[in-house]
């Protein structure tokens, strides 16, 4: 068995699940997930079930007693605890951890695992798991039609929300309009007549900041899964320093897609926190 701890927003959960899934497939093992973090009131909600994913719960073998008791109280008690004494990988944050390649089952994974390298060679299994065809809602039909009708639809993601918190801004950094203007030039150097579809957790602020762009279509506010589906329907992508738009771009199916990504995932003074070649597939443009 392979166990993996789940936490954070939807994009982080997807990286964690994809990493566990790829390892389980490589080892011929069963994947189990630890969702205890979502039993607490102050955390984000579990988003993976919207893809139709199910699993047997497990527990972090290093979790303290209070956390295990919380899981039992919330009805999340695991059926078994097979990971005590098994290899335990606490990832090296911001870069691919080569210890991952030598793991054997049973083992337990704890971290963010924000790198495509963790599931390289297992892309089909990951894409099957995150099947956006399961996401169906009548309120996005109109926007789906607009994206399909566009000659060159480009998803543009502006991340604000909790990044506006002073502590988060100091670490993650807010991408300025210079980045988006440079990314636009990269896109338009490759093809003519794009239509930009604007996604943001603060649509009003994003529309104001990019108000000087022509051919801009504000997507508005939908659920995270609906927006991820709409984003992936575009042919090309200008992503933010956000795992959410990372996945929107990665799941995009256009054969000749262009993905433009920020060369600084974190604020410049924390740029050493991540290895950019581990963060982005080789064919993504970095500006």
Query: Over the stretch 107-125, which tens digit does the pLDDT of each residue have?
Result: 999 999 999 999 999 999 9
What pLDDT shows up at residue 170? 58
What pLDDT shows up at residue 174? 81
Task: Classify domain 137-286 at the CATH topology level.
Answer: Rossmann fold (3.40.50)
Q: Helix or strand or coil: residue 175?
A: coil
Query: Over the stretch 128-177, which tens digit does the pLDDT of each residue have?
Result: 999 998 888 888 999 999 999 999 999 999 987 766 565 555 566 789 89
Query: Over the stretch 69-85, which tens digit does the pLDDT of each residue have?
Result: 655 555 555 554 678 88
What pLDDT shows up at residue 214? 83
Q: What is the mean pLDDT of each run of 10 residues along the chain (287 residues)?
A: 95 97 98 90 84 93 65 55 84 92 96 97 98 88 96 93 61 84 96 95 89 90 94 97 96 95 84 88 96
């Amino acid at each position: 068995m392979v166990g993996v701890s789940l936490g954070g927003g939807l994009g982080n959960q997807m990286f964690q699940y994809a990493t566990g899934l790829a390892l389980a497939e490589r080892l011929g093992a069963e994947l189990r997930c630890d969702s205890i973090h979502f039993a607490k009131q102050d955390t984000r909600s579990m988003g993976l079930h919207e893809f139709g994913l199910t699993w047997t719960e497990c527990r972090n073998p290093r979790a303290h007693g209070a956390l295990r008791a919380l899981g039992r109280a919330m009805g999340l008690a695991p059926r078994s605890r097979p990971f005590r004494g098994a290899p335990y990988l606490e990832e090296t944050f911001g870069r691919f951890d080569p210890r991952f390649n030598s793991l054997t089952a049973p083992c337990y994974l704890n971290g963010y695992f924000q790198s495509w390298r963790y599931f390289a060679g297992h892309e089909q299994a990951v894409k099957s798991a995150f099947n956006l065809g399961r996401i169906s809602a009548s309120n996005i039909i109109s926007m789906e039609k607009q994206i399909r009708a566009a000659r060159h639809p480009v998803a543009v993601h502006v991340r604000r929300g909790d990044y506006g918190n002073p502590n988060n801004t100091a670490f993650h950094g807010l991408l300025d309009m210079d980045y988006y203007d440079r990314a636009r030039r990269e896109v338009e150097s490759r093809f003519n007549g794009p239509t930009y579809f604007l996604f943001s957790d603060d649509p009003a602020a994003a529309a104001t900041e990019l108000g000087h762009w022509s051919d801009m279509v504000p997507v508005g506010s939908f659920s995270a899964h609906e927006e991820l589906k709409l984003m992936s329907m575009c042919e090309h992508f200008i992503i933010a320093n956000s795992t959410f738009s990372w996945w929107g771009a990665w799941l995009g199916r256009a054969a000749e897609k262009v993905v433009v990504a920020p060369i600084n995932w974190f604020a410049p003074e924390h740029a050493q926190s991540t290895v950019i070649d581990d963060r982005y597939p080789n064919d993504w443009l970095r500006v």
